[in-house]
Amino acid sequence: MEKKSIDDLLDYIENDEKKNKKDDNKEDKKEENEKEDQKVENENGEEKKKKKKKHHHKKKHNNEEKKNEIDGIRPNPYRDLFNWKEKGIEINNSRFQDNSELRLIGNWEEKPWTQTNYPTKDIDELFPNKDWPVGIIEEYSNQIWRSNDKEKMELEKLREYDILSFRKGAECHRQIRKYAQRIFRPGKKLLDLCIELENMLKFITNYHGIDCGQSFPTGCSLNHVAAHYTPNAGDDTVLQYDDVCKLDFGTHINGFVIDTAFTVAFNPTYDNLLKATKEATNTGIKLAGIDARLGEIGAGIQEVIESYEVEIKGKTYKLKPIKNLCGHTVGQYKVHAGKSVPIVKRDDNTKMEENEMYAIETFASTGKGYVREEGECSHYMLDEYASVEKIRGEKLKALYKYLYGKYNTLAWARRWLDDTDFKNISLSLRQLIDQGIVQPYPPLADVEGSYVSQFEHTFMLKPTHKEIFTVGDDY
């Protein structure tokens, strides 16, 4: 090997050091680049995690919304209709309500409850565990064995969904009518009172399309008018001290109809008139049962009503049941589901059957005891058996589609369309009526100058016992 000089060796070492330094710089730079890349990667990773977390939260939120919808819990858009603080109304937790101004309507007693006075909670907030109040339970007097029969108990379980819907709807009705009994007073326009009641109904039921809400228009028929009157837009009728007003409205949950009514009167002159229908309705419910004959129930109701008389302005009137009005079965999305319960004696041997739902309503009158159509129509309903193929014209088709989607086979009021795109529908409505697509239900009235009262409850003939859903402290 060639021997190198000291100078050559020094040059070699110097060059080698420079090379190593250069390599070190490269390594440092590489390390810095790697750190920078790692930093960017970490930041991207965190961003991805955030996005993933946000997506997961959104997905979870959507799932919760879907779950809430399934469970019947959803935001209530009608809460703002009742801002009590702005009206200067004090809210408390007392259940008591003095109904002494109303004849034969009991006070609401002080008991444990979760609602406020005035109402600030809807039905799902009041009963988050879905433990809707059970109605009044009555055994079948002639079939006591049913209450402990295991087979009947199992059959009853098959209707649990329906029963819970009826109980929920009945509690909604109690909450709403308690409020109605506070606001229905002489000097107020019936139109305003009905709108306020219907707004409360939307709030309490958390009205949601066809799933739940009002099952037919608010009836507030006055004096000789027995049924099917609610104010149309522009009606300025004012409730008077001497009026006899039948307040008849319905709720529904999942289409299962609750139909119950009472009479609003302020003048004690009419006490016997109200007592007659209150007792007659309770008698009809007592006589009702599996295998009970409808004609015999009508006879029992008639006997009660005709046992009463009332003196008005020095003249005594023997009360009569209105023979062409009656109680009826109720069903899913059907206020009248087929069978009729007469309120006079009839040769009708039709039997009540297991699992049927009934609304027993009775009417007592100082008039002839017979009603006929009178006045401007406000109640309508689609005929479920009509041939819709005959509908011609886009406007008519659009109206029918709206009515079917909104109300299905439930009744509706003409004024409910005032805030929609179907305001001026008189001609279109007339055409649908002429074609048999829509059925009108005009007010039904006895002779002018007479007075009619009404009371009504809804109950079910369950396999083991009878459950009266709609009874409250009031009636």
329 near 339, Cβ under 8 Å?
Answer: yes
Q: Is 354 a catalytic residue?
A: no
Quickly count helices (H) and strands (E) in the chain: 9, 18
Q: If DSSP codes are grouped into helix, strand and coil, which group holds residue 278?
A: helix
Q: Is 228 a catalytic residue?
A: no
CA distance 174 to 472: 7
- Which candidate in 122, 171, 259, 467 is catalytic? 259
Q: If DSSP codes are grouped into helix, strand and coil, which group holds residue 97?
A: strand
- Which candidate in 252, 336, 379, 457 is catalytic? 336
- Which candidate in 248, 356, 446, 467 is catalytic? 248
Count of CB atoms situated within 10 Å of the CB of 426: 9
Taking CB atoms within 8 Å and a gap of at least 24, the contacts of 381-386 are 381/407, 381/409, 381/410, 381/411, 381/412, 381/438, 381/439, 381/441, 382/407, 382/408, 382/409, 382/437, 382/438, 382/439, 383/436, 383/437, 383/438, 383/439, 384/409, 386/435, 386/436, 386/437
- Which candidate in 224, 228, 328, 457 is catalytic? 328
CA distance 328 to 151: 28
Q: Is 16 a catalytic residue?
A: no
Return the structure tokens found at 316: 């005594």
CA distance 348 to 327: 14
Cα 85 from chain centroid?
Answer: 26
Q: How far is CA 268 from CA 102, 243, 277, in A?
A: 9, 11, 15
Amino acid at 315: K
Residue with tokens 């609003």: 264
- Which candidate in 456, 457, 465, 467 is catalytic? 456
Q: Is 57 a catalytic residue?
A: no
Q: What angle do CA 90, 99, 234 make, to 5 degrees?
A: 80
CA-based R_g, the chain, Å? 35
Q: How far is CA 9 from CA 5, 15, 17, 23, 32, in A?
A: 6, 10, 12, 21, 34
CA distance 164 to 183: 29
Q: Is 457 a catalytic residue?
A: no
CA distance 169 to 410: 15
Helix (H) or strand (E) holding 126: helix 123-126
Return the structure tokens found at 92: 């408390």
Q: Is 456 a catalytic residue?
A: yes
* Residues with catalytic roles: 248, 259, 328, 336, 361, 456
